[in-house]
């Protein structure tokens, strides 16, 4: 649910900007936006990386170079002036805003730890490139494109609403083909 109407930007303080940052500056920008009184969100993942003499768990941004900031049109200009910010993802010259509900669902899906495969009575075959809509769970209502089908029971779905795609693995019983 992306809003492009400039009047809705001013009227919706619960909208989120997608902020494009300089390389490896996501955490610094997150701190600067928080200091401005905005609500930033930098989704992160922990990756296990091998160094020359040991293994380390490293916290990395889920979307390298991007973070989210809860802001309206007035704050948009201040966000653009923040050191480390390259720009804000736009559509037709206006900031592309994500609805608070979408960000809440995305956050819930990323933070879920109990992602076990669901039992599927009969496999539903979706082909790569087919558009689907999630029917249940924290991502209900989300539209995406099937990237990969794993034995008809699990799907990797590509969602591009954040201005940069993200893939989710989900049970095929939880989606239906988009009209």
Each residue's pLDDT tens digit in the chain (179 positions)?
444 334 444 445 678 999 999 999 999 999 999 999 999 999 887 878 888 899 999 888 888 888 999 987 778 889 999 999 999 988 778 888 888 888 888 888 777 655 444 444 455 678 888 888 888 766 777 788 888 776 666 677 777 665 555 666 677 777 888 88
Which CATH number is associated with domain 131-177? 2.30.30
Domains of the chain, by residue range, sit at 2-111, 131-177
Q: Which of 103, 102, 83 is nearest to 40 (CA)?
A: 103
- Per-residue pLDDT tens digits for 6-35: 444 444 567 899 999 999 999 999 999 999
Q: Which of 49, 158, 152, 62 is nearest to 107 (CA)?
A: 62
Distance CA 34, CA 83 (A): 13
Record the pTM. Answer: 0.66
End-to-end C-alpha distance for the chain, whole angstroms:
17
Displacement of CA 107 from its chain's centroid (Å): 8
2-111 against 131-177: fold identical: no
Classify domain 2-111 by CATH architecture: 2-Layer Sandwich (3.30)
Distance CA 125, CA 115 (A): 21
pLDDT of residue 41: 95
């Amino acid at each position: 649910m992306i809003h492009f109407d400039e009047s809705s930007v001013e009227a919706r303080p619960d909208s989120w900007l997608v902020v494009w940052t300089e390389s490896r500056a996501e955490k610094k920008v997150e701190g600067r936006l928080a200091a401005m009184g905005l609500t930033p969100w930098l989704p992160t993942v922990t990756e296990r990386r091998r160094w020359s003499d040991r293994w380390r768990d490293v916290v990395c941004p889920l979307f390298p170079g991007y973070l989210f900031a809860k802001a309206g049109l007035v704050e948009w200009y201040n966000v653009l002036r923040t050191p480390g910010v390259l720009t804000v993802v736009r559509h037709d010259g206006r900031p592309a805003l994500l609805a608070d509900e979408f960000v809440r669902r995305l956050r819930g899906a990323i933070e879920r730890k109990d992602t076990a495969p669901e039992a599927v009575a009969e496999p539903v075959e979706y082909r790569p490139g087919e558009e689907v809509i999630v029917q249940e769970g924290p991502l209900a209502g989300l539209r995406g494109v099937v990237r990969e089908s794993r034995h008809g029971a699990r799907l990797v779905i590509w969602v591009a609403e954040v201005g940069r795609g993200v893939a989710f693995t989900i049970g095929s019983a939880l989606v239906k083909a988009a009209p």
